[in-house]
Amino acid sequence: MGTTNGQASSISEWVILGLVVSAIFSIGVEPPSNPSPDLEVTHLSGTIDLSTQSSLDAFGLGEDARYASAEIEVDSRGVVSEGCTDCSTSPTGVRMNGTILIPNLVGEVSRIEIEFNFTHLSENVMDGFIGREWLSVDWGAGDLSGHWEILIVHDPPRWSPDGRTRAAFIPSDGGTESRTGPWIFIETLLDHALNARGCLPDSSRCKGFPSRDIILTATREPVAPPITIPHPDGWVQLEGSPSTSGIPTKMEGIRGLMDLGEVVNSSPWCHSPDDEMVSSRSWEAFNSGGVAIAPMSTWLEALTLPSSTFTPNGGTWSEVDTDQHGCASLVDENGTLRLGVSVR
């Protein structure tokens, strides 16, 4: 994601769009009706109209590119990770890879093609409860390339039972429609395929049928055994790395999501502990008053992917820039890591 302030400020939007795509892919396994087999999404194709400034910023596009359209072709597989030394159960999830193409741009760059890779894993600590989540997002797009690693620790574990989102949607014209939030409509097509269309949050021109910002078709096939992948690298605290005179810049976009106070002396956490540290700083973090970080939550709920909701409850927010990475972390008042975000 580079090192410039402009690039750092759009980190959260990149993650949001990654979660949108992952949500569609994770329409996922649904209970059989009559003799039908359990099904999972294996391919996704469609378009996302970049009708909001945040969606344009996510791809490094300015206002002149308004109404650009991203074309998506992505494959999906269920996965299980191995190598987690402190997990109570083997984390499971989904891995996706493919391309996102933005053609017909006006300006110096007329076309952007992104190689997209995304992995989402969750650790089930008991029936219907998630203890930790790991997200990995990789975008290959020349100067706009970037890689993110995100760890979310739920304490207490987050309740996520099967079918928990049904109340958020109502039957409508042969499909289901969102009750609140951005308009979303999902219908089943021939051969068990699913079609999803709807609006991005804060889209001024998308209000409901027949308008739409997003239209995606998911191919579904009988569930196959998950493939095994290595578990993500662990997060470690960088002892002896208190605040420096320089302020880290690579994680400014994420910093804006937090309610921060005075600078404090604390050792940061990072996903890549062997890199040379450039700058580091920590701040007191306040309880956000119940405000949850849940990007694209309605889309995620519509398509049965846990929305990775995280509510900051106060503690210490730390950032560190190394020669290769930017890392941000939130620890609670007991010093336990609750959220980690790494970018390079």
Per the structure block, which two tokens stand in for 49? 């109209």
Integer Cα distance of 321 and 342 in angstroms: 10
CA atoms within a 13 Å half-sphere pointing along the CA-CB vector of 61:
31
pLDDT value at residue 30: 41
pLDDT value at residue 58: 61
Domain parsing of the chain, residue ranges: 5-230, 236-343
**DSSP, res 247:** P
Question: 29-37: long-range contacts at Cβ-Cβ below 8 A with a sequence spacing of 24 or more?
Answer: 29/223, 30/304, 36/192, 37/222, 37/223
Separation of first and last alpha carbons in the chain: 6
Integer Cα distance of 133 and 285 in angstroms: 22
Integer Cα distance of 165 and 26 in angstroms: 14
Q: What is the pTM of this model?
A: 0.80
**DSSP, res 300:** H
Encode the chain (344 residues) as per-residue pLDDT tens digits. 333 334 333 444 444 444 444 444 443 334 334 445 788 888 888 888 877 766 666 666 666 566 678 888 989 889 999 999 999 999 998 888 899 888 877 666 778 888 888 888 999 998 878 899 998 888 777 766 778 888 989 888 887 765 544 556 677 777 777 666 677 788 888 888 888 888 876 677 777 777 788 888 888 889 899 999 999 999 988 876 666 667 888 888 778 777 889 999 888 898 766 778 888 899 998 876 544 555 444 444 443 344 555 666 789 999 998 888 889 999 998 889 998 988 88
pLDDT value at residue 36: 55
**DSSP, res 310:** B
pLDDT value at residue 54: 65
